[in-house]
Structure 1
Amino acid sequence: MARKLGGVVVLDFGAINAQMAAKAIRQLNIYCEVLPYTAGVERIQALQPKALVYQRGMACGERTLGRDVPAATAELGLPVLDLKDADCDSTTLKAFLVGKCGLKQDWTTEAFIAETVEDLRAQIGDKKVLLAMSGGVDSSVCAALLHRAVGKQLTCVFVDHGCMRKDEPKQIAEVFRDGFGINLISVDAEARFLDKLKGVTDPEHKRKIIGEEFIRVFEEEARKLGELDYFVQGTIYPDIIESGWEGGKSVKAHHNVGGLPERIDFKGILEPVKYLFKDEVRQVGEALGIPAVITNRQPFPGPGLAVRCLGELTKEKLDILRDADAIFREAMDVEGWAVKANQFFAVLTNVQSVGVTNDARTYGYVICLRAVQTLDFMIAKVVPLPIEFLTKVAGEIATRVPGPD
């Protein structure tokens, strides 16, 4: 949706961070796409670029240095900025792209929304659309875009597998059903999922069970709605980039669905934000009026708290983790540490420790608190939270969260 021709093509030579140059270019409100440097000239020319940027050099990683530009690419005759002789900063990029190549700085959030809504209306017509709502940023922005485009033709299904963070199911209903007026179906499937997960301790096995069961629940709800024409996926641009490098891995499916439901015959797939980076998705969400509690939500795995609750899952353990996590996240916000961390959450270990409360012996779970700084959610470093803050939070959790029976 809203793919713009006539912009810039970044040819990636295997950079450590394949998104680096593209993000810097888009911050100048200039549209660009990333292709592997081995891409054929037909693939490059299809985007009608006005300039090429070679993403290679020491700043991009040593492995980019020994790779040469294919002869056919070099013969295209397009203006080239080679990051092996130039810096990837806004001044250099603007001088080349705007000053030398004459590109316009017109790729804005507002323009993206207007073009995408127009494209969706034209493609969908009077057909029906189904979206799997996870409550994450990507599916939320997709829902808001589709609702603006086709209104009541959109139905969203939210499956609560019992592993969401505290009050998230309620927030999702309040924002999208009550606030936006979206046709949202909420399914409380906690008991069903916990029954399937009984006795399972391996995190990857949990992921697989939750993913498969989610599809089954989703299919059941979809069949109740009758004939549906389009299915919405929250693919974003990093997924596309990852799939394009030397054949790479395939584009990931919807975060919660884990793949297109095979037992439902859709006429087409809609991916409204497939050319946006995560920060751009958040900006679109803000412009669409989605509240910060959704747009600023930290990345959250599809299986939710299931992979942050070690050992076998039980409702009791998940409730303990939910409350402890909420206390920690609230304290991070109140004490001003949230702005210094990109992700922070609690983990319920499968270790229990002896203590004394109100003159009675207790045998409670050990809670781990994690806070990290990261630019790409691949490489991270610890946020140095002060011991006074951690002691205060630990005390709050110990006194406010009921332990196991």
Structure 2
Amino acid sequence: MSVPAPTPVIDAASQSSRYPAIVILDFGSQYSELIARRVRETEVFSLVMSYATSAEQLRALSPRGIILSGGPSSVYETGAPVCDPGIWELGIPVLGVCYGMQLMVQQLGGSVVAAGKAEYGKAPLHVDDPTDLLTNVEEGSTMWMSHGDSVERLPEGFVRLAHTVNTPEAAVANHDRRLYGVQFHPEVVHSSCGMAMLRNFVYHICGCEADWTTAAFIDEAIGDVRRQVGDKRVLLALSGGVDSSTLAFLLHRAIGDQLTCMFIDQGFMRKGEPEFLMDFFDRKFHIQVQYINARERFISKLAGVTDPERKRKLIGTEFIRVFEEESRRLGPFDYLAQGTLYPDVIESADTNVDAKTGERVAVKIKSHHNVGGLPEDLRFKLVEPLRRLFKDEVRKVGRNLGLPEEIVGRHPFPGPGLAIRILGEVTEDKLNILRDADLVVREEIRDAGLYNEIWQAFAVLLPVRSVGVMGDKRTYAFPVVLRCVSSEDGMTADWSRLPYELLETISNRIVNEVQGVNRVVLDITSKPPGTIEWE
């Protein structure tokens, strides 16, 4: 069995002047970060921390509530992750979700066994006790199940709150000790009354106040930046995306002329983007940006490179090297600002350890440009005021700071750019092919009025060729993959159901207008199991 590795223990004080009101202890669930995001939707600050966080560490943070996430393990197996049992004596309300509920039951004297009938997907919830956690949760409301184990016997002092056809103890509680557990996942959109349940826990059981607002974050972030930077100068990599643009406005408000923005054109941007961005920031925002043309330098670094992780690290390292050189010309600078977000940090972390040796097993999803590519001899100190935020929260901050919708509403674009949308070796010819294909996708999505309804829409170039016929002649050209996904925060995503007529138009335009392409295919994979990007 592979046990989830402890999430690095977060020093909340170093993350913010505000301590988290709700702490989520992560047991390896794919939904742990989604729980944090749902709690934040109630305007209450939350952070994900390791399941190995001690009771004393939690006591020092003084959270108003603790949520135990789900996880892939079974609590009765040797080596299954467990929390500090001292947590139950802190007097802090606890909500266990799926595995978290089973762990609570087991540690407090109950028993958990393999279910006679596993339960996955939607199930109607039958409410036995409509108080506290289940206040305003409708009888028969849909909840999302994902478990093969069930509670066999409750600990002393616990009562049943709800059940399903296959799960007698679907929700349980010890009201006196304010300990609650649910076998389902209230955080996912499939659970119809899930948010009502989370609000009950956050507001009524934990007594939290709705003070995690956009304005509050901006005030805190400005104070944090000023304390960290002092009178030193800061260099910002400005890409023109939502994250770096929001960061530029935030830093400019915090430190004014101490900020220098620099746009490094690494040659992997979309068609016409460098020219658009330089004109946009100068004309619209009157922000002076240093333009650095480093296209040849970056493309030469990727010659012969096909491994996606190596691509990211090479690009990230070269990016920093350019910054170091330019900082010596324009500087000196002490700090480098990055638009690192919470999902970037999460997805760049190792997630498993070997159950026998206890050694960390490298199972990274991918190294994000803002995280995994940093060289060990980095000469800058990092300023990352957005690293606590999810993407939708960054958009709210941007709007509050006055960024126009033309920037705030842009689709996410990866730091390594088109280099990780070209599978295999990156060449100038392939970049030109992908730029033309990508432009067609974006133009047609926007013309169809669907741009703001889709999280990301782009093209991917595959390192294979296929036979085709054009003008009665045989062709042997590249296929292009159309990738369009819908999501709320990028942590999970589903493929977008585009109209057939639109798909046909995109395909016809790409094949007819993009030289070197003779086939268009559609990616209909959700996340998970796939990722949004192909590399």
Instruction: Say whether residues 1:255 and 2:255 are aligned partners.
Output: no
The equivalent position to 1:162 in structure 2, one of 226, 246, 267, is 267
Identity of aligned residues (%): 44
Q: How does 1:100-119 map to 2 (within 5 A)?
A: 100-119=205-224
Look up the match of 1:129.
Answer: 234
Instruction: Report if the CA contact (8 A) 1:131-1:232 is conserved.
Output: yes
Q: How does 1:350-365 map to 2 (within 5 A)?
A: 350=463, 351=465, 353=467, 355-356=469-470, 364-365=477-478
The equivalent position to 1:296 in structure 2, one of 394, 400, 409, is 409
Distance 1:200-1:19 versus aligned 2 partners, 3 A rule: closer
Instruction: Report if the CA contact (8 A) 2:24-2:32 is conserved.
Output: no
Instruction: Report if the CA contact (8 A) 1:137-1:281 is conserved.
Output: yes
Structure 2 letter corresponding to 1:283 = K
Instruction: Say whether residues 1:317 and 2:404 are aligned partners.
Output: no
Higher relative contact order (CA 8 A, sep 6+): 1
Structure 2 letter corresponding to 1:78 = I
Look up the match of 2:19.
Answer: 5
- Quote the Cα distance in structure 1 between the aligned partners of 2:258 and 2:439: 36
Structure 2 counterpart SS, 1:159: strand
Q: What is the deviation of 1:281?
A: 1.6
Structure 1 letter corresponding to 2:418 = L
Distance 1:254-1:167 versus aligned 2 partners, 3 A rule: same
Structure 1 counterpart SS, 2:394: helix
Instruction: Report if the CA contact (8 A) 2:390-2:489 is conserved.
Output: no
Give the aligned length: 397
Structure 1 counterpart SS, 2:373: coil
Q: How does 1:256-405 map to 2 (within 5 A)?
A: 258-259=373-374, 262=377, 264=379, 266=380, 268-338=381-451, 341-350=454-463, 351=465, 353=467, 355-356=469-470, 364-374=477-487, 377=490, 380-402=493-515
Structure 2 letter corresponding to 1:227 = P
Structure 2 counterpart SS, 1:63: coil
Instruction: Report if the CA contact (8 A) 2:313-2:369 is conserved.
Output: no
> Normalized against structure 1, the TM-score is what?
0.84
- Quote the Cα distance in structure 1 between the aligned partners of 2:207 and 2:251: 34
- Quote the Cα distance in structure 2 between the aligned partners of 1:64 and 1:158: 49
- Quote the Cα distance in structure 2 between the aligned partners of 1:202 and 1:54: 36
- Quote the Cα distance in structure 2 between the aligned partners of 1:398 and 1:374: 28
- Quote the Cα distance in structure 1 between the aligned partners of 2:477 and 2:343: 41
Structure 2 letter corresponding to 1:24 = R
> Normalized against structure 2, the TM-score is what?
0.66
CA deviation vs aligned residue, 1:290-344 (integer Å, no higher than 9, x gap):
2334333333333211222345433333122112111112212222444554332
Give me the CA root mean square deviation. 3.3
Q: What is the deviation of 1:378?
A: 6.1
Instruction: Report if the CA contact (8 A) 1:341-1:371 is conserved.
Output: yes
Q: What is the deviation of 1:26?
A: 0.7
Structure in which a larger fraction of residues adopt helix: 1
Look up the match of 2:337.
Answer: 232
Structure 2 letter corresponding to 1:17 = Y
- Quote the Cα distance in structure 2 between the aligned partners of 1:141 and 1:24: 22
Structure 2 counterpart SS, 1:26: helix
Instruction: Say whether residues 1:82 and 2:96 are aligned partners.
Output: yes
Distance 1:100-1:174 versus aligned 2 partners, 3 A rule: same
- Quote the Cα distance in structure 1 between the aligned partners of 2:436 and 2:269: 11
Look up the match of 1:216.
Answer: 321
Structure 2 counterpart SS, 1:19: helix
Structure 2 letter corresponding to 1:181 = H
Distance 1:208-1:10 versus aligned 2 partners, 3 A rule: closer
Structure 2 letter corresponding to 1:50 = R
Structure 1 counterpart SS, 2:32: coil
Structure 2 counterpart SS, 1:221: helix
Structure 1 counterpart SS, 2:261: strand
Instruction: Report if the CA contact (8 A) 2:369-2:415 is conserved.
Output: no
Instruction: Say whether residues 1:96 and 2:193 are aligned partners.
Output: no
- Quote the Cα distance in structure 1 between the aligned partners of 2:87 and 2:351: 17
Instruction: Say whether residues 1:139 and 2:244 are aligned partners.
Output: yes
Unmatched 5+ residue regions in structure 1? Answer: none
Structure 2 letter corresponding to 1:300 = F
Look up the match of 1:48.
Answer: 62
Q: What is the deviation of 1:154?
A: 0.5
The equivalent position to 1:63 in structure 2, one of 52, 56, 73, is 73
- Quote the Cα distance in structure 1 between the aligned partners of 2:244 and 2:425: 29
